[in-house]
Amino acid sequence: MSQEELYKTINPVKYLRNFVEKSLRPDGRDLLEFRPTIINKDSIATAEGSAIIKLGTTTVICGIKAELAEPDSSEPSNGFIVPNIELTKLCSPKYRAIGVSLDSQIMNQTLYNILFNSGCVDLTELCIAKGKLVWVLYCDLVCLDDDGSVLDVASLALITALKSLKLPKVNYDLDTKVIKVDDTIKKGINLKALPVTTTFITFEQKYLLADPTSDEESIADTFVTIATCDGQLSYIYQPGGNSLASEQFESLIKQAGKREKYIISLLENIFE
Amino acid sequence: MRETILSNNEKSFVEKSILEGLRVDKRNLNEFRNLGLFFGQDVGSVICTLGATKVFAQVSCELSSPRTSRPNEGTIFINVEMGPMAAPHLEVGFPLSDSCIQINRILERTLRESRCVDLESLCIIAEEKVWNLRVDIAVLNHEGNVMDCSCIAAVAALAHFKRPDVTTTGDGEFIIHSPAEKDLVPIVLHHYPICVTYALFDDGKIPVADPTALEERVSEASLVLAVNSYKELCCMNLTGVSLTSPHLILRCSEMAAERSRRIVEFIKSILEEDEAQRAKGNLPKGFAESIALSNLPSNFHNEEIVEKIEQPEIVGIAESSSHGETSDDEVKIIDDNTVTSGKWIEVTSEDEDSSSDEEMPEQTNTRTSQDAPKTEKKLHSNESSEEEKTIVLK
Amino acid sequence: MEIDEDRNNKMRAIASELNILTRSDGSAIITQGGSCCIASVNGPLEVSPANIDMNKAYVEVIYRPKCGLPGVNERYKEKIVKSLCETCIITQLYPRTQITVQAQEMDDHGGLLACAINAVNLAIMNSGLEMKFHMAAIHCGLDSDDNLNIDPEYVPKANLTFSRIQRSSRSQNFKGNFTFVFDSTKKSLIGVNTDGKFTIQQYNEAQKLCKDASRKIFDFYREMVKKYATVL
């Protein structure tokens, strides 16, 4: 173990403080700089839509499997989107080895909120025959490596996979109840907005850090997650922790807006 | 967290006092704690308080496909939950605690298997769509006898609940009406089964009504009797280690029937009051009102009934057996109470109470005797408690 | 400063009762308009070896819906309440112990998360656990005409169904929903959760309105303390 590693193990807070005091982070970034983002779409051939996103070393893969089902009687013309993320020991030792972890349940709901608050998907678009047949999109996300900011990466993976989604044409005969799937005609779904999620942490109350690594997350005072789309805010979440001054908050919103523009331009490049 | 250990001193203190006919909270052995019912703003939501024990019940409904075995019936599901709010040693989630499963199961037997809810009226289209009812019971404060409290809450919530009206248009289509379009429809209840719990002490000789948490822990066994206001037994459950005589169960069921009748009356009166308020167009203020009136704290005074059911027969039996008299005497006592008919759910005496009861169904095969015991609402006389003491001290 | 008392900025009536549960160390029931929530706090208790923390207390939060099984949405709310509790309780004073908080929804007429957070705060206060500060949660709705409504009263659409399908926590009655949590010492923002889509300006405005309104909650807490302190 090198001297530096030893120092970091013994006093992680002081280690990080020494860096941020000089407006620098242990991996060489500026305080509000993001790690390089890599987007890969249609990565899984058997899935209807898929994507792999890397942010630094944090990696999330998303595959969407579409199935046909009967809609819920309270919302007969709405399809379903079921995001399900797996956070296992595979990606970080902090997660439980077996069973559905609390973290993944919470992240599922967060992903769901981010997706629907922005009005990104219109669930009626997934309807084939009202009250009879709708699409269910099982969005399975697997985190391969958790080095911080998993939510940002997961939500981007989900959006990219949804954007790359291709559904076959389905004919449903109301009288005979026969379902015919035509694989030759494939159509994507219309995404009305693309929410981009950005996570920030505060450290020692005064330092704001964008795109934290897992080491930084573990000693953060508080998290702030901001989702933006089309210059508007669609989700702001701060779960307690230390309070932020309103100027700090405003600068974070500005940063999130910048990040959104960058990610959208990346997505536009891929889906040209 | 583990449950706090009960000391031997506490245990023997409770046991000894009960042998003397005394209880820690000054009640006598057949006395119940105050009962309170508070309806919320939503239909089917109720807080039931039994002394300091508090339970919240909420009924909800949803459409779904029926079970294939019963295609023209809705379903009812009961879920009881006791978390650390009820008592610090209780935990939520799986595996469910034994006490929680037990209460849930007894409630299922009481409410579902007695078929008190008209499930056929919950059917919209046979084999296609039926209403599913769900009763969620959250135990807020566990001060003993959660069983009775949950049962009363569940029955009151079911009676209070109303589902949206549905019109079928033939050809398998139907419209669910919002409350603004068409009034909500109440659930049809054939009868109101009420659980009455007795904790058994002294080798199953002394039943103690409405046990507190401490008494529950000290007692040898617990006897739960679910009786409706027609004096029909819907469910009986005896848990624990106690060899109880059948006479005692009979006496208890008789007392339970009386208790049940009064509780049903009470539920109905409170329901009527709530219904009248809603009919007048007064939006119910729900629990806010209860708080404003300081009704919810443990020492509330409004809307309460105090149950003191005189039960001298038990003493009689206990006395005769403890004095070592012949078994003939006991048989005679049973005879007096017309148990020989075999249908012991009809251990009713045609006293003033039951004959004035409008809900009494025609019971053709009831055999009664003139010497039948009268269950009256009055306090234990000093005489009888002295009798009890003499038994104990014997 | 006078709080603007026009129609949109009026808080609903608050009523509360402390110590209503005998088996909990601290408990409170609170109603805000038609919304009602009950909370209990137990602790410091024995902690299971899996959750033990040598430096501070482990906070467990259980959030229960009024009907149906708790789902991911409740887990999400548990997380919010848990982090808020960890913020306002001085957990460092109770190392190697557990603090259990349970909140139970009783009536949902809007702003239930805020109601639950306020109930939990009162319950912690009642339990006697050391707190850094009190917290006040305020709900604010953005209606379709872009008007901000402080602490609005409404009946949620999916009320009284127990469906297990995943729903967004967003209420259908407003296009935007904000829940802000403020601390009592600096009156600064310690927690926020939002639903729906809104502009930066609307967000800032909502935060300002809620900050003003939080005084009412703190005043209410003060009244509660006064009422109960006389007994001691």
- Note whether A92 and A146 are within 8 A (CB): yes
Token match 């729906």: residue?
C196
A142 residue type, one letter: V
**What is the reported pLDDT for B366?**
38
**What's the mean pLDDT in A168-191?**
86
**What is the reported pLDDT for B364?**
38
Q: Is A99 exposed, middle or buried (0-12, 13-18, 19+ CB in 10 A)?
A: exposed
**What's the mean pLDDT in A90-107?**
81
The residues near C48 (Cβ < 8 Å, ≥ 6 apart) are C98
CB-CB: which of C17, C109, C162 is closest to B297?
C17
Chain A CB contacts of B64 under 8 Å are: 73
**A66-81 pLDDT tens trace:** 999 988 877 788 889 9
- Note whether C110 and C33 are within 8 A (CB): yes
Chain C contacts to A (CB-CB under 8 A): 72-73, 75-76, 79-80, 82-88, 158, 161, 163, 165-166, 168-170, 181, 183, 186, 188-200, 203-204, 207
Phi–psi pair at A186, nearest 5 degrees: -125, 140
**Is A113 within 8 Å of C170 when comparing Cβ atoms?**
yes
**What is the reported pLDDT for A72?**
80
Nearest to A155 by CA among A201, A184, A183, A113: A113
Q: Report the alpha-carbon distance of residue A232 to residue C34 in Å, rounded.
A: 32
**A105-145 pLDDT tens trace:** 889 989 988 988 888 888 888 998 888 899 999 999 999 99
**What is the reported pLDDT for B93?**
77
**Is C68 within 8 Å of B287 when comparing Cβ atoms?**
no
Residue B69: CA count within 13 A, CB half-sphere: 1
**What is the reported pLDDT for A244?**
81
**Is A236 within 8 Å of C203 when comparing Cβ atoms?**
yes
**Is B60 within 8 Å of C98 when comparing Cβ atoms?**
no
In order along chain B (394 residues), what is the average pLDDT of each group of 10 residues? 87 93 89 88 88 91 88 92 91 83 93 91 89 93 93 94 86 79 88 94 90 92 92 90 86 91 92 85 66 45 41 38 36 34 36 40 39 37 36 32
* Max CA pair span of chain B: 77
Q: Report the alpha-carbon distance of residue A181 to residue A174 in Å, rounded.
A: 15
**What's the mean pLDDT in C73-91?**
92
- Note whether C21 and B140 are within 8 A (CB): yes
**Is C166 within 8 Å of A239 when comparing Cβ atoms?**
no
Measured CA distances, B311 to A7, B368, C54 (Å)? 78, 18, 57
**What is the reported pLDDT for B292?**
52
**What is the reported pLDDT for B368?**
37
Chain B CB contacts of C17 under 8 Å are: 291, 294, 296-297
The residues near B210 (Cβ < 8 Å, ≥ 6 apart) are B27, B31, B32, B33, B50, B51, B144, B145, B148, B197, B307
Question: Which CB contacts under 8 angstroms, 24+ apart, belong to A175-178?
Answer: A177/A132
In angstroms, the separation between the Cα of residue B104 and the nearest Cα of chain C is: 15
Count Cβ–Cβ pairs < 8 Å, chain A vs chain B: 6
- Note whether A188 and A75 are within 8 A (CB): no
The yes-or-no verdict on residue A254 having pLDDT over 80 is: yes
DSSP string, chain A: --HHHHHHHH-HHHHHHHHHTTT--TTS--TTPPPPEEEEES--TTSSEEEEEEETTEEEEEEEEEEEEPPPTTSTT--EEEEEEE--TTT-TTS-SSS--HHHHHHHHHHHHHHHHTT---GGGGEEETTTEEEEEEEEEEEEE-SS-HHHHHHHHHHHHHHT--EEEEEE-TTT--EEEEEEEEE----S---EEEEEEEETTTEEEES--HHHHHT-SEEEEEEEETTEEEEEEE-SSS---HHHHHHHHHHHHHHHHHHHHHHHHHT-
Question: Which CB contacts under 8 angstroms, 24+ apart, belong to A176-183?
Answer: A177/A132, A179/A68, A179/A133
Q: Report the alpha-carbon distance of residue B288 to residue C15 in Å, rounded.
A: 6
**Is A74 within 8 Å of C189 when comparing Cβ atoms?**
no
Nearest to B102 by CA among B118, B80, B122, B74: B80
| For testing contact with chain C, the best of A84, A87, A94, A243 (most C CBs within 10 A) | A243
**What is the reported pLDDT for A164?**
92
Which tokens sit at A58?
Answer: 């944090």
**What is the reported pLDDT for A241?**
76
The yes-or-no verdict on residue A58 having pLDDT over 90 is: yes
**What is the reported pLDDT for A10?**
92
Give the length of chain C. 232
**What is the reported pLDDT for B86?**
92
The yes-or-no verdict on residue A256 having pLDDT over 70 is: yes
**Is C67 within 8 Å of B136 when comparing Cβ atoms?**
yes
Element (H or E) spanning C180, and its range?
Answer: strand C176-183
Which tokens sit at B30?
Answer: 């057949």
SS (H, E, C) chain B: CCCCCCCHHHHHHHHHHHHCCCCCCCCCCCEEEEEEEEECCCCCEEEEEECCEEEEEEEEEEEECCCCCCCCCCEEEEEEEECCCCCCCCCCCCCCCHHHHHHHHHHHHHHHCCCCECCHHHEEECCCEEEEEEEEEEEEECCCCHHHHHHHHHHHHHHHCEECCEEECCCCCEEECCCCCCCCEECCECCCCEEEEEEEECCCCEEEECCCHHHHHHCCEEEEEEECCCCCEEEEEEEECCCCCHHHHHHHHHHHHHHHHHHHHHHHHHHHHHHHHHHCCCCCCCHHHHHHCCCCCCCCCCCCEEEEECCHHHHHHHHHHHCCCCHHHHHHHHHHCCCCCCCHHHCCCCCHHHHHCCCCCCCCCCCCCCCCCCCCECCCCHHHHHHHHHHHHC
Phi–psi pair at B256, nearest 5 degrees: -65, -35
All partners of chain A with 3 or more CB pairs under 8 angstroms: B, C
- Note whether B99 and B82 are within 8 A (CB): yes
% of chain C with per-residue pLDDT over 70: 88
Q: Higher pLDDT residue, B341 or C8? A: C8
**What's the mean pLDDT in C86-102?**
94
**A174 — pLDDT class (breaks 50, 70, 90):** confident
> How much is the mean pLDDT over chain C?
86
Q: Does C158 touch chain B (CB under 8 A)?
A: no
Token match 């219109």: residue?
A122
**C120-149 pLDDT tens trace:** 999 999 999 999 999 999 999 988 888 888
* CATH superfamily ID and name for B34-293: GHMP Kinase, N-terminal domain (3.30.230.70)
**C212-227 pLDDT tens trace:** 999 999 999 998 888 8
Chain A CB contacts of C86 under 8 Å are: 240
Beta bridge partners of B205: none
Spans of all domains in chain B: 34-293
**What is the reported pLDDT for A100?**
72
**What is the reported pLDDT for A266?**
92
Q: Does B294 touch chain A (CB under 8 A)?
A: no
Which tokens sit at A199?
Answer: 């996570």
> How much is the mean pLDDT over chain A?
89
Token match 């935060």: residue?
C207
**What is the reported pLDDT for A132?**
86
Angle at CA of residue C172, ends C171 and C174, nearest 5°:
85
**A88 — pLDDT class (breaks 50, 70, 90):** confident
**Mode of pairing for the β-strands spanning A222-229 and B123-125:** unpaired
Element (H or E) spanning C213, and its range?
Answer: helix C200-229
**Is A241 within 8 Å of C190 when comparing Cβ atoms?**
yes
Query: Helix C112-127 crosses helix C200-229 at what angle (to 10 degrees)?
Result: 30
**Mode of pairing for the β-strands spanning A37-41 and A49-55:** antiparallel
Measured CA distances, B189 to A214, B118, B155, B261 (Å)? 58, 6, 9, 15
**What's the mean pLDDT in A46-59?**
93
**What is the reported pLDDT for B215?**
93
* CATH fold of the domain at A29-270: Ribosomal Protein S5; domain 2 (3.30.230)
**C163-216 pLDDT tens trace:** 555 555 445 678 888 999 999 998 888 999 998 888 988 999 999 999 999 999
* Domains of chain C and any CATH numbers: 7-229 (3.30.230.70)
The residues near B135 (Cβ < 8 Å, ≥ 6 apart) are B57, B58, B59, B76, B77, B78, B79, B111, B154, B157, B158
In angstroms, the separation between the Cα of residue A150 and the nearest Cα of chain C is: 16
**What is the reported pLDDT for B341?**
34
